[in-house]
Structure 1
Amino acid sequence: MRLLLDTSFLLELRKGNEEAEKSLREESKDASDIGISVLTLYELLVGSHYVWMRRKDPRERIWLDSLLKWLTIYELREEVVRRAAEAKAEAMLEGMGLPDMDLLIALTVDGPSKLLTCDEDHKAMAYLL
């Protein structure tokens, strides 16, 4: 099983959230790989660049560089985009709004996987995934 970490979960780890740390320790025991979506990388890079441009504080970049050394970055493939489009259309028929980025991130990995998130949008869409 591959473990997929989303931005909200990684930011909780960054803050030292003990619950997130415990969850990662427990879930990683059975994981064949731990990674992030290329879209999560994008979100983290935006934050890192913003902090640098605003405060000239290198700590966010240093943290991100360190983090990326032990994570696999999963590319977004056409098949994922097609599955996400179908899931979004289903949700729309049911009157649900799903954020595109969250949906694409959640569907990034094929096969046995688990998404670790602190994002309520991801939790709300679990039945579609």
Structure 2
Amino acid sequence: IYQEMKIPKHGLPAALPLKPVPDILAELGRLKQPNQYLVGFAAQTGDIIKPALQKLNKKRLDAIVANPVDKPNAGFGSDTNQAILIDNRGRHQQINRCTKLELAHHLFDFIQNPPEGNSNVKYQIITR
């Protein structure tokens, strides 16, 4: 709903109709070229691994940053965060609480030099 002027409270509708927005990350995954590396982010509460792996697979990502937003000093509104970095081969790295800038450096290192030889891969890629 577009209004040129402010709507007074008594003039507000009981419900606002919402339109779905395009899934930009899925579209980027669909259009990704062989020389491109696509990383997604999964801000989750509770179990962060399963939804992150589903997103990694569904959106054709090369890697995903799964971060809990229900932990103290992590997520939105905090200067620090923690995450699990997972790539599409199941390699993973736990990042304990650090500044968001440090997390960005960990992510960059993970992309450039993914952990090798995870013979006991803890997370499996979910396929349909």
More strand by share: 2
| Larger helix proportion of the pair | 1
TM-score (ref. length: structure 1): 0.28
Using structure 2 for the length normalisation, give the TM-score.
Answer: 0.28
Which has the greater radius of gyration? 2
Q: Higher relative CO (CA 8 A, sep ≥ 6), structure 1 or 2?
A: 1
